[in-house]
Structure formats: C-alpha cells, structure tokens
C-alpha cells in the first residue's frame, strides 16, 4: 500500500493537456506542488505547473529528474508510452500503472480485458493484415472499423457497410492492426467513473449520460435521464469489476452503450479523468480530479456527492469561427456568464481550431429541467446546434 503522501510534496503529471491542468489546480488547492512532463512549452498543464520538464516522454534524463522530484506520478493522457510509466514506477508510485495503461492503449487488449472481467462488449474481430478481412463473419457488418491504437475522439475510425467498404477502410487506415465492431442499435450512451486505491478501496461518481457529435463528446447530463436507477447502478458495478480485474489505481472511466432492452455493452475505457466527468468540479463536493489526487497520494477515498443537477457543454474551437469571416473571434462569454449557474472553464490554449477542445461550460441548477433550460439558453447564445 502507498503510504499517505502529505501536502507539501511534489506530484508528477505525464502529459501537458487540459486534464493535467485541471489535476494541477486540484492538487495545488490541496497544498501540493505539481511537476509536468511535456515537450510543448505552451502546454495547458505546463503553464500552471510549479515545475515543467520540457522533454519527450521517453527522455531518460527527464525521467530521472522527475522521479527524483516527485513523490508520486500520474498520467493525463492514455497515449503516453506505457514504457514511460514503467520506468517511473521502478522508483515511485505511479497511478495508474504501466500494465493497466497498456491495456487501455490497445482496443484488442481492451476488449479481451472486458471479456475476462465478465463484461459484455460489442461483437468484434481483430484484423492485423489483409488476409483477416476474408475471415470476417457476415454478422459483424455493417460495423465500425477502428485502429487498435492511437484512436480517440472519433479519430482512426471508419463506418463500413459491407466487405468492399471494409477493404477500403482498412487500406485508408494504413493497414495497421484494427478492431471491427458490429454496429449496434443504441438507445443511449453513458459513462461510469470510478476511483480505486492500491488497497482496493473504490468509490464512484454519479453515472453520466453523454451525447457525441462526430465522435467527440458534446453534452453530458447528470443525473442521467436516459436510464433508470437500476441500469445506472449496474454500470457502476461493471466499471468496478473492470477496475478490479486489471488491478487499476486511480480514476477510470468506462463508456457504455445502452441497447433498447437496457443491456449494457462496454465501449471503451480511459485510464484517467474523463471529459464526461468535468461537471463534477462544479456539481459535486469532490471532483474526479480530487479523487485522482486522493488515489495517488494514499488519502482516504470518500464517495462524492452530487449537490446540483448539471449539464455540461463541450466547447470546441468551432465556436470561435461562427461569424463567417474566417478569423477567430472570441465567443460572447459575458452573455453566457449572465445565466444563473453558469461555470466557464477555458483550458488556456493559445489557438482555437475547429474540433479542438478549448474548454467546457457547466450549468448547475436545483433541478435537471432547470439545468437543461439554462444549457439550451447558453447553446443559443454560442450558436451550438443539433443536440
């Protein structure tokens, strides 16, 4: 078991994105110092860190320096090389560990982990070379072809209707190892976020209901409206089962498809705090970043409580280009902040680009209906459509 690491110590974060930034805020509020490893001199997390190692993830000298400075280390990005975490884990507590992150980095390994844990996932086939295409079972089509590695937010995916489309998509994705998943009739998408200590203690956030657009999370509702209490409770049970099966330490998000009969099918998991859990900063007494902090420092894990229904809107760089001029224009934040219960979080990224996650907006209220109404008002002000 990791002995309690008291405030005043320095904690390490591998990765410099917005998740690292929000973790750094939580850690610093709790009295810790934060060191970030990321080669980008303008990274969101590096900008707020007490120490910023501007080096590649596998830079041997930087890893030695980070291990010597930090009492414990985490990752904010699932595609950080597992080898980086393995090296750091030789001398320091690392949460999550390299073995668990390596599973989450490979869709084939992830599906196998779900199966070993007794959690249903979509019917699928692993394709490693063109010869595998001929052996694909007919019932897997139509489906979605996904690269086994380095895919997130809809990247590295193709929808395929038949064998000819499958062959084209496999070639378009570079002929790398892929997973073909059968397309399922979805009633909803939800996510369950759990936090687990190295002693096996575990707590969970309320289940989130999610809406995606072009493979990127657009909206999160809490409490989830599309599923009942029993289904939400089952999602947490399954997420806990997966965390235990892979001996996970830290915050883990498992995304589920909900089918018409309320059957839950695991889609994928993220070995870190998750976009769908950002609402917890404003709507819960402990955020997902507080839970990550507690899990990696050996502090007691206390079940977070939802004190306000919430709806979160993801803010993509497209919002900066709604004027039609082609130039980036700052959205009308003052009008948005005039709405009751509006909590704006921008990630400190210097350049807005279409599809880039620039921030999120959480609307909290005394009822789910009121939060929905305020979110729709915010969306109208910002020009967010289609949800």
Predicted confidence band at 327 (pLDDT cuts at 50, 70, 90)? confident
Predicted confidence band at 275 (pLDDT cuts at 50, 70, 90)? very high
With a cut of 70, say whether residue 176 has pLDDT above it: yes
With a cut of 70, say whether residue 146 has pLDDT above it: yes
CA distance 105 to 98: 10
Contacts (Cβ under 8 Å, ≥6 apart) of 276: 191, 193, 208, 210, 217, 220, 253, 255, 312
51-53: strand order across its sheet: 51-53, 33-37, 10-14, 72-75
| pTM score | 0.95
In the numeric block, the tokens 């064998």 are attached to: 163
* pLDDT for the residue 156: 83
Phi, psi of 113 (to 5 degrees): -65, -40
| Across 302-313, average pLDDT | 98
With a cut of 80, say whether residue 144 has pLDDT above it: yes
DSSP calls for 280-302: HHHHBSS-HHHHHHHHHHTPPP-
Predicted confidence band at 151 (pLDDT cuts at 50, 70, 90)? low
Phi, psi of 50 (to 5 degrees): -75, -25
Q: Which two tokens stand for residue 97?
A: 């560990």
* pLDDT for the residue 152: 64
Percent of the chain at pLDDT > 70 equals: 98
Mean per-residue pLDDT of the chain: 95
CA distance 95 to 275: 19
Contact, 209 vs 226, CB < 8 A?
A: yes
Helical (H) or strand (E) element with 195: strand 186-196
pLDDT in tens, 17-46: 999 999 999 999 999 999 999 999 999 999
Q: Which two tokens stand for residue 167?
A: 């062959």
With a cut of 70, say whether residue 109 has pLDDT above it: yes
CA distance 107 to 29: 35
Taken in order of first residue, the domains within the chain and their CATH numbers are 10-94 (3.40.50.20), 123-182 (3.30.1490.20), 186-382 (3.30.470.20)
Q: Which two tokens stand for residue 306?
A: 């939802």
| Across 282-300, average pLDDT | 98
pLDDT in tens, 177-206: 999 999 999 999 999 999 999 999 999 999
């Amino acid at each position: 078991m990791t002995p309690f690491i008291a405030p005043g110590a320095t904690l390490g974060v591998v990765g410099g994105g917005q998740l690292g930034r929000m973790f750094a805020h939580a850690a610093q509020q709790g009295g810790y110092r934060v060191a970030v490893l990321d080669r980008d001199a303008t990274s969101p997390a590096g900008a707020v860190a007490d120490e910023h190692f501007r080096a590649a993830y596998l830079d041997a000298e930087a890893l030695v320096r980070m291990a010597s400075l930090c009492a414990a280390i985490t990752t904010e990005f699932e595609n950080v090389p597992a080898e980086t975490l393995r090296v750091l884990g030789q001398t320091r507590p690392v949460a999550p560990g390299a073995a668990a992150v390596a599973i989450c980095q490979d869709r084939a390994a992830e599906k196998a982990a779900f199966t070993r844990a007794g959690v249903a996932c979509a019917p699928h086939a692993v394709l490693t070379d063109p010869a595998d295409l001929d052996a694909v079972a007919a019932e897997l089509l139509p489906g979605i072809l996904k690269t086994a590695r380095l895919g997130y937010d809809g990247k590295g995916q193709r929808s395929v209707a038949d064998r000819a489309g499958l062959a084209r998509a496999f070639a378009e994705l570079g002929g790398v190892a892929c997973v073909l998943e059968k397309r399922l009739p979805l009633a909803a998408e939800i996510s369950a976020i759990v936090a687990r200590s190295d002693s096996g203690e575990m707590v969970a956030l309320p289940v989130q209901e999610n809406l995606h657009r072009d493979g990127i999370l657009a909206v999160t509702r809490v409490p989830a409206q599309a599923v009942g209490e029993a289904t939400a409770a089952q999602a947490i049970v399954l997420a806990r089962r997966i965390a235990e099966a892979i001996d996970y330490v830290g915050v883990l998000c498992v995304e589920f498809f909900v089918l018409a009969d309320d059957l839950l099918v695991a889609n994928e998991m993220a070995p870190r705090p998750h976009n769908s859990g950002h609402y917890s900063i404003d709507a819960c007494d402990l955020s997902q970043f507080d839970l990550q902090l507690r899990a990696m420092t050996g502090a007691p894990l206390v079940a977070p409580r939802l004190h306000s229904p919430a709806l979160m809107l993801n803010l993509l760089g497209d919002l900066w280009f709604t004027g039609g001029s082609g130039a980036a224009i700052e959205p009308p934040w003052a009008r948005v902040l005039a709405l009751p219960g509006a909590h704006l979080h921008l990630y400190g990224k210097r350049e807005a680009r279409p599809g880039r996650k620039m921030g999120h907006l959480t609307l909290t209220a005394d009822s789910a209906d009121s939060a929905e109404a305020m979110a729709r008002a915010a969306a109208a002000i910002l020009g967010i459509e289609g949800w």
